[in-house]
Chain A
Amino acid sequence: MLHIDDLVVRYGSAVAIDGLSLHVEAGEMVALVGPNGAGKSTLINTVTGLLSPASGSVRCEGRVAQVPEGRQMFADMTVEDNLLLGGWSIRNRDLSEVFDLLPDLAGMRRRKAGRLSGGQQQMVAVGRALMARPDLLAIDELSLGLAPLVVAELAGHLRVLNRERGTAVLLVEQEVGLAFDVCARACVLEAGRVVASGPSASVAKSDAVRRAYFGDLGQEEAGQATMTEAVT
């Protein structure tokens, strides 16, 4: 359902995405991992139309919605207003579907989004994206700044969403263990290119992941030991 071919994205003269190709099938959950500056967020922002490609193509058969890095709340507005605005593109003002999936949001609907905890804000960000009834949910750093228990709860919601509604998920995540656990398939990005791709369990053991996060340290054993901790 998502077809990215030979994509190049630039910030001025700097190349952020360099000839990247990636395909996501309907109902698939794909993790994008890689070091800072690999181009993960740039890719997400291009998929959702916030950035324009310099060349190549991004084609999506269905609606895409984004859960952005840093939550990006409408801070002075209520949770309800944040959710309602999530449905702006399709004029969807029916909150019941989102409340069914994320019942905690119903209890905080009158509260100002800027006054919620990080985990609550992330839940609002997910709910806001779901208001667009997306076929593909692009999530940028689900776990950023959140406690492990909160992250586990959000990951559970994503699994339910994928299982019950068939929503495809493209998950950018620094926490590789979480990414590989939630998504069946994973891609490793480095310098704007896909350097490894395949089932998450295989990618987790690949040198590409080790190199992406630890570089060429020349201390393979130390690296392997740390990786094992990171992915378990």
Chain B
Amino acid sequence: MKELVTYLVSGIALGSSFALIGSGFVVVHRVTRVVNFAQGSIAVVGGMLSATLLGGRLPHGVAEPAAVAICGVVGLTVGFLALGRRGTPPLISLIVTLGVSMLISAAIIWLWGQDPVSPPGLDGSATLLGATVERQRLLVVGATVLAFAALALFFSRSYVGKALTASASNPFAARMVGIDVRRMGLLAFALAGMLGGLAGVLVAPTNAVSFYSDLPLALSGFAAAVFGGLVSPLRTLVGGLGLGIAGQLTAGYLNGSYQTEVALLLMLVIMIARSSTFVHEEAK
């Protein structure tokens, strides 16, 4: 039982980071119809940056938000490159994000080397249902809940958030009322960068990240986003948590090296199961 609780909590924590990365995919796709495959690389940059900033004597609580903010700027830059000129087809933008992802990986090797990096996180552990759980993992879950609540409030209450939703709902009408849809797309990329960066900052203390962590993180985040139909942050959260738990249970009871394969398999199952929903949502 203790073992199961440990796997569940670490699965929820890992799944939370997948959900954050996945919600970045959703935010960008809703507004621009672009699948931003640089999301995984930005998460790695977030983890690396927080390690560097903490190593540079910045205190906890300052280094992490700074890393997230810088990732927002990285996301914005990816957006500028991917969206290019007005009228760039989403497929071309997707390919650009893949290229940018490779560039970011090269930059990570150049700046931080090839070895995995794990910044210091929250020390100590707590007892939950008789099982010992690292406090950092509980922090990941709490921060994710807060991030999703803030995201929901931003989209439903703020004027800019509503303009983003409007741009996603009906780009023609959005342009007609004077909303700059391209600028909204760039804002979505910046927001996605921050979400990816937050995932990296949160996950790196318990799961060291390196330049080759980008693909597993991007795939897992994308699988979570696919569960949300690439439109729903809430369903993406559910998808991410399911994926994280499945991965940790696989690692705990079977073999840890199968985690990525589990993510891929679940993504395939979800895509096949939800293909009719995608067609319907695309038609809308």
Contact = CB atoms under 8 A, between A and B. Distances in A.
Nearest to B156: A81
A76 B169 contact: yes
Interface in A84-114: 84-86, 88-89, 91, 93
Given A74-B165, A74-B170, A85-B166, A66 B159 contact: no
23 contacts: A50-B176, A66-B176, A68-B173, A72-B176, A73-B170, A73-B173, A74-B165, A74-B174, A75-B169, A75-B170, A76-B165, A77-B165, A81-B162, A81-B166, A85-B163, A85-B166, A88-B163, A88-B179, A89-B177, A89-B178, A91-B159, A93-B159, A132-B177
Taking residues whose C-beta sits less than 8 angstroms from the other chain, chain A's interface range is 20 to 34
B60 interface: no
Given A73-B170, A75-B170, A77-B166, A88 B177 contact: yes
A128 interface: yes
Contacts, number: 53
Nearest to B178: A89
Interface of B: 159, 162-163, 165-166, 169-170, 172-179, 284
Contacts of B175: 50
B166 A72 contact: no
Query: Which of B166, B172, B175, B177 lies at the interface centre, i.e. has the most chain A CB atoms within 10 A of its CB?
Result: B177
Interface in A112-131: 128
Nearest to B179: A88
A91 B176 CA distance: 15
B172 A72 contact: yes
Contacts of B178: 88-89, 132
B177 A128 contact: yes
9 tightest A-B contacts by CB? A89-B178, A72-B173, A74-B169, A74-B166, A88-B178, A88-B177, A85-B166, A86-B177, A85-B177
